Structure 1
Amino acid sequence: MYRNKGLLITLALLLLFAQTSMVLAEEIDQSEPKVRVDGQLLRPEVSPIIESGRTLVEMRSIFEALGAELEWDGETRKVTAHHGDKVMMLTIDRMTAILQGQAYELEVPPRIVEGRTVVPLRFVSEALGADVKWEEETRSVMITTDHEALSVVQEVEQEELPEEIASWIEYSQNTWLAQEKVVEDIMYLLVTYGEKPTGGYSVDIQQVMESEEEIIVKVSFTQPGEEDIVTQAITHPYDLFAMKPTEKPVVYEVIGDESYVPTLVGLETLSPILAESRGIKIFRPAPEEKVATSFTFEGIANVFEGNVLYRLSNEEGEELVFDFTTGAMGDWGAIEETIEIPETVEAGETLLLEFFTESAKDGSIQDLIEIPLHVEKPL
């Protein structure tokens, strides 16, 4: 009899373990799905969920990945998405969506999960022109936004950066800029956010794609919120991506807390900056440099209307040269001019070269740079 009890207990335990294994297998099979947009893994703040066989994903992450702009009305709990000429409206917990003024019934409504809005993935993606496919093997939703053939550019892994690239990052870090540089048969994409007063700012090159005509770089910028606790120190956020060299032009698509990133106009890559202000960067001459009968200045500018004023004066403050040059507004445009030193200036004199802009509001001087120069005329 005891043997029978032992047999029954053994059978019960085996059945329990079998049921547990089945439950675990089912849980593994029903693990949260992954979402990839043009090959890039989406990393939402709230994990995707499945409801009634439909995937819901965090609203902001998917709309930004699809290139849509959002408007949120907290009073009506309604979100409006703009994508080109398309307008979509969704309301929390309602089964109806409005696309281009026409009503569509949803299979699952938008929800609020863990304080974040989640939306039906397939509907919003296809409504904005993307293709959606389910990949069972990896439990991934694959979304394609560009029907042109796009391929993911693989990053080149490196144990150590070349000294030239490390120096390039260092002298670029004060400038909000996206640029490229080829060193040792590797092409580097560098996006810098400039000098920031605190922590909490970040730059993320989220994906690099290649089409037949160009390289497409998607960059996300993040700024700290008013309630965020951040490091109280000056920071210089940047991100770097290494890839195989290409002759194709590079274009930058920006998402997050910025809508655009400046690029260089009139030159391929940034040179070492020897003097700078917020909107003017000078490559040469260097402060305290010796000059002869003439000299050339070079740099970049990103200022209102693109115009940079420059002035050369002597030790008494007498104005010797006054003129302007044109860089760019929005992007960083190259500036370069040659200045002839008046014959009245003698060897050994110290001159002051100034670059600045004037406020359109009150005429005050802005973006001022002062560079002392020493005259050393040839014999």
Structure 2
Amino acid sequence: MKKRIVTTFAAGILAGIGLMSAAGFSYAALTKIDVSVKPISFMMDGKEVQPSDREQQYFNGKNYVPASFIHQNTTYVPLRFISEKLGYQVGYDAKNGIISLGEQNMTEKEWTFDVIYPSDGAQPVISPRIQQWFDDHKNQEFTGSIWDEDGIYAAVARGQKPNGGYGVEVVGVTERANKVVVKVKYKDPEPGKMYTQVITHPSTLIKVPRTDKEIRFEIVKE
């Protein structure tokens, strides 16, 4: 894949909109530099993580910006994205031009969430893209999330089951220092109880606010 050359990237906006960081970055606020944008993958603990829902883009809270670029053989990436994935909190003092890092000591925060499926009878209002994504996964064993303009959608599916005794429910969503945890409760057939013998595909779809933290799933035991 050819490198794409960007010739008028203003270095002075990096800290303000993306908190991009690398050793030796000391250009004046209005210096223009030539950079090349080359796709890279981010791996943490052997698992690939995505900067956002857009390929090779990072969402900084207001705009999508390049997830990385190369200048003079040095690769620059969003400091906030990397640091928060590692459990650090990033602060930016725009007036004095100071970026600070510190351990995140936030307490767990419970989020409200909307249950899209199963619905309470009303037809859920979601984009065709989200509906297609959910339809593609709801009949197999699956946990995953996808971004949309109005939030992040998280789905849990248990695959094909032989009767109506199986179910799945999201019982809570918790924000932690470097991730958001979707807590899931499974329902299994009770011993000795009769169930309708029909093929089912237990699944659920919820919506939570947008965040750049990783969405993870935890099974809650009784």
Give the alignment's TM-score, normalised by structure 2: 0.46
Q: Which has the higher contact order (CA 8 A, sep 6+)?
A: 2
Give the alignment's TM-score, normalised by structure 1: 0.27
